[in-house]
Amino acid sequence: GPLKPEITITYIAVSAIFFNSGLSLKTEELTSALMHVKLHLFVQIFTLVFFPTAIWVFLQLLSITPINEWLLKGLQTVGCMPPPVSSAVILTKAVGGNEAAAIFNSAFGSFLGIVITPLLLLLFLGSSSSVPFTSIFSQLFMTVVVPLIIGQIVRRYIKDWLERKKPPFGAISSCVLLMIIYTTFCDTFANPNIDLDKFSLIIVVFIIFSVQMSFMFLTFLFSTRNNSTFTPADTVAIVFCSTHKSLTLGIPMLKIVFAGYEHLSLISVPLLIYHPAQILLGSLLVPTIKSWMVSRQK
């Protein structure tokens, strides 16, 4: 169509999001969180090792059910995604948790995800035969890493202006992300061969909410056990960063790794559901988690 998503979305929109992230990311805030190695290890191992493995085991059981197999593969791609740059940080800040740790793990997880997520996708979904590694990493490098680095370099020169004016970085990223989501939905439902039955869709929505609730509870239990050295503020950052998944990085990555796949639209659906679900669920839990944290700190 007139939006030309094969150019505007694949290259310009994705690069714009990460340039914007680089411009808005306060590098100095990350240095204070850098030394909290145990927390970072917990979040990254849970997100990029335990999460995708647990989903894979769960999907082996679901494979005998009549649920659409491409939606199940989509659930696996959700498990392989890195933590998001925004939603986990926003919710951690809303509760009053360790915001610096949330920022560090979101940023660090996104960097790790550029390399690890395509490897996980190829490992669990086996698309290595049709997608060469070099094209995946070169495109991710040019559209994610380079804009992020340029954004950080530009920030150094206009830092005072940014602090004074406080441009609406969040709104800009949201608008670009909305454009990416819109074109992905168009791709999904404009495909005449799409075979999306209501039963599978409803079950997948239920699974997504169940997985989020279970994993939030699991990370909460692990980080608050008796021999744990995490503070209540650390626990808040852990719960959100470990269970949230990035749509900003995820959709462009799926488009690169599964370029030319007939069922790319169906594979994208669970991630498109997971993102609003994690924000909705997190927002509903903010008052409860906040009251718990305050009572523990007292």
Please report the DSSP string for 164-207 in residue order. Answer: HH---HHHHHHHHHHHHHHHHHHHHHH-TT----HHHHHHHHHH
The percentage of the chain sitting over the pLDDT mark of 70, rounded to a whole number, equals: 78
Which pTM value belongs to this model? 0.75
Predicted confidence band of residue 119 (pLDDT cuts 50, 70, 90):
confident
Q: Which two tokens stand for residue 193?
A: 């061969």
pLDDT number for residue 267: 84
Average pLDDT for residues 12-32, to the nearest whole number?
Answer: 69
Q: Identify the weakest region by mean pLDDT among 36-45, 112-121, 132-141.
A: 132-141
Q: Identify the weakest region by mean pLDDT among 17-21, 57-61, 227-231, 249-253.
A: 17-21
Average pLDDT, the chain: 79
* 179 or 149: which leads in pLDDT: 149
Task: State the CB neighbour count (10 A cutoff) for residue 28.
Answer: 8
Length of the chain: 298
Predicted confidence band of residue 189 (pLDDT cuts 50, 70, 90):
low
- Classified as helix, coil or strand, 287 is helix
* 129 or 238: which leads in pLDDT: 238
Residue type, 25: L
The whole-angstrom separation of Cα 61 and Cα 244 is 23
**256: closest CA among 172, 149, 144?**
144
Q: Which two tokens stand for residue 64?
A: 């005998």
pLDDT at 237 over 80: yes
Domains along the chain with CATH numbers: 5-291 (1.20.1530.20)
Q: Which residue has the tokens 């740059």?
A: 85
Task: State the CB neighbour count (10 A cutoff) for residue 22.
Answer: 21
pLDDT at 128 over 50: no
**21: closest CA among 290, 252, 273?**
252
pLDDT number for residue 8: 61
